[in-house]
Structure 1
Amino acid sequence: MIHFIVFPKVYVYILKNNPQSFKFDEYIQNNEKEISLKEVVKEYSPEELVSQKSLVDSIIELDEGQLKKKLEYLRGGNILKIDDFQFYIDIEERELLPGQDSDELVLRFDLKICNKEGILITSINDNYGSEVNYKNTVKSFLRNISNDLKYSLENYKTIRMQIEERNIFWTYDKILPYSINIFNTSNINPKSRLANNIVFLHQILLGIIGVVILFFITLTKANSSKDILS
């Protein structure tokens, strides 16, 4: 447990605070960085975020009169048509519990944006959940979505920068295959004082565990031999 769980997590903690604490084999470093970049792109879909934000912002600048309608209008299953766009909300609700307000029953809340022929352009998931206020205007709701998309895009850029420039991408799953064989320092080589101390402790504990296991195996064999002779 210590070898497979505790030490890998300690190494991840050290690397997050100081990515230069360990030096990895160049192939390992580049490969894990590339995998991390692909993962963050898959998680955030930055091109889709940019496209969706641009689309929402363009709708906000359109017909002021239509956008002044309350969000309750869309909640009733109505479709709002503005210039070349029409959109509606697709919601999934749960049963109301005692003491809950009617605005607290949303499980899923998606904004569907279509062209004037009704063909879906994009679907934007809203993460407000129970915080959706149907008394707000549609324009206010769209602005909130635009801000959410902007926030997600900024998060993506920050994480990508940390991966590319600071090599902050190591996780438990990524470090585990290399920390298992901690005696092979060509894969993971401690550089900082703290990293060296932790690796030394790791190796010492593994050595002690190995000796204890060997002792019990030898003892078991010896007892078995005595039983046979008896």
Structure 2
Amino acid sequence: MVLVNFFSTTFLILIILSSCAYLYRISKKYQKSKYAISSLAVMLILHLVAFPFLYTLMLKSNPNSFEFKTAIHDNRKQIVLNEWIDDSKYIPSQIKALENIKLANYTILNKSLKELEQLTFTENHILHSDFDFNIPGRNFMATIYIFDKKGGLKRKFTKTGGQNELDSMKFGSVITHDISYLKDKLHYYKVKKVELDKNNFWTYATLLPYSASSLFTGNMSPLTPIANIFYTIHYITIYCIGIGVFLHFLIRNLELIIRNRKS
């Protein structure tokens, strides 16, 4: 989830900045409108990147910095809650399953993956490891298969690394690593649930549509003093630049109309 939020935020910001950079470049081709077009690019950066990102940080610090319309707030919270449930509900059972496998195969935890290339039988499982050392441009890969007594696949682990590293890697360390990873993941979701309960669920990508349109819709309103200050600066700046750009192109169009009529 963290990576998803990071990449969605990065992608959006890069798209907007690229568009603004393009506007700035083409402004040099139109000398009479150079400053108006470059000002428009600056306005878009402020309106769509700088201030929404700042508002996101403020909401992360204090979820009560802004007030949203009830429908927007509740809908967004429910979406995040559903994502949290879907992502976290199977983790405890996965941890339990791995711990059971570890306990059931305690006699071979110190065996290396190389030793498990031969079929290994324990009280409840059959284990086998397989190595792939022919992957161009990638690390070597080891796959550990765990079957039940009837031959049904119970679990599969995949590890990458150098050949010597994989050969000497212990079976117990593979399971322990996966258990630790899942426990860290579960802890992350528990922290996210606490944040969600505190209404701390906004990201740049989810906030952008509301911060960009709040001037016309009133979707969000500042509550704290610092939020009011930045919100006021935001819209005074946007109004001033926007009106200036609008008047510039209005005057340019009027000049063209007058010139055409005279000719």
Q: C-alpha distance in 2, partners of 1:91/1:105?
A: 11
**Match status 1:61 vs 2:120:** no
Structure 1 residue ranges without an equivalent (≥5): 98-103
**Match status 1:201 vs 2:233:** yes
Shift of 1:198: 1.1
Shift of 1:145: 1.9
Question: Could you tell me which residue of structure 1 aligns to residue 123 of structure 2?
Answer: 83
Q: C-alpha distance in 2, partners of 1:203/1:30?
A: 26
Name the CA shift for 1:31/1:122 in 2 (closer, same or farther; >3 Å): farther
32-41 or 150-159: which moved more?
32-41
| Structure 1 residue ranges, 4+ long, deviating more than 6 angstroms after superposition | none
Structure 2 residue ranges without an equivalent (≥5): 1-44
Question: Could you tell me which residue of structure 1 aligns to residue 172 of structure 2?
Answer: 139
Shift of 1:222: 2.1
Cα deviations across residues 132-173 of structure 1 (Å, max 9, x unaligned)? Answer: 65424212322222222211111111112211x211111111
117-126 or 194-203: which moved more?
117-126
Name the CA shift for 1:87/1:14 in 2 (closer, same or farther; >3 Å): farther
Shift of 1:32: 0.6
Shift of 1:40: 3.2
Shift of 1:35: 1.1
Question: Could you tell me which residue of structure 1 aligns to residue 78 of structure 2?
Answer: 34
One-letter code aligned to 1:66: I
Name the CA shift for 1:181/1:46 in 2 (closer, same or farther; >3 Å): closer
Judge conservation of contact 2:66–2:227 (CA < 8 Å) in 1: yes
TM-score (normalised: structure 1):
0.80
SS at match of 1:182: helix
Q: C-alpha distance in 2, partners of 1:21/1:94?
A: 55
Name the CA shift for 1:193/1:206 in 2 (closer, same or farther; >3 Å): same
Question: Could you tell me which residue of structure 1 aligns to residue 254 of structure 2?
Answer: 222
Q: C-alpha distance in 2, partners of 1:83/1:198?
A: 66
Q: Give the number of aligned pairs.
A: 216
Q: C-alpha distance in 2, partners of 1:213/1:87?
A: 71
Cα deviations across residues 48-89 of structure 1 (Å, max 9, x unaligned)? Answer: 322221122112222433333112234x4x444332233445
**Match status 1:148 vs 2:192:** no
Q: 2:192 aligns with which of 135, 149, 159?
A: 159
Shift of 1:29: 1.0
- Per residue, is there more helix in 1 or in 2? 2
Name the CA shift for 1:71/1:33 in 2 (closer, same or farther; >3 Å): same
Q: 1:180 aligns with which of 202, 212, 231?
A: 212
Q: C-alpha distance in 2, partners of 1:26/1:125?
A: 46
One-letter code aligned to 1:27: A
One-letter code aligned to 2:179: S
One-letter code aligned to 2:207: I
Q: C-alpha distance in 2, partners of 1:28/1:3?
A: 20
One-letter code aligned to 2:183: K
Identity of aligned residues (%): 25
Q: C-alpha distance in 1, partners of 2:119/2:75?
A: 48
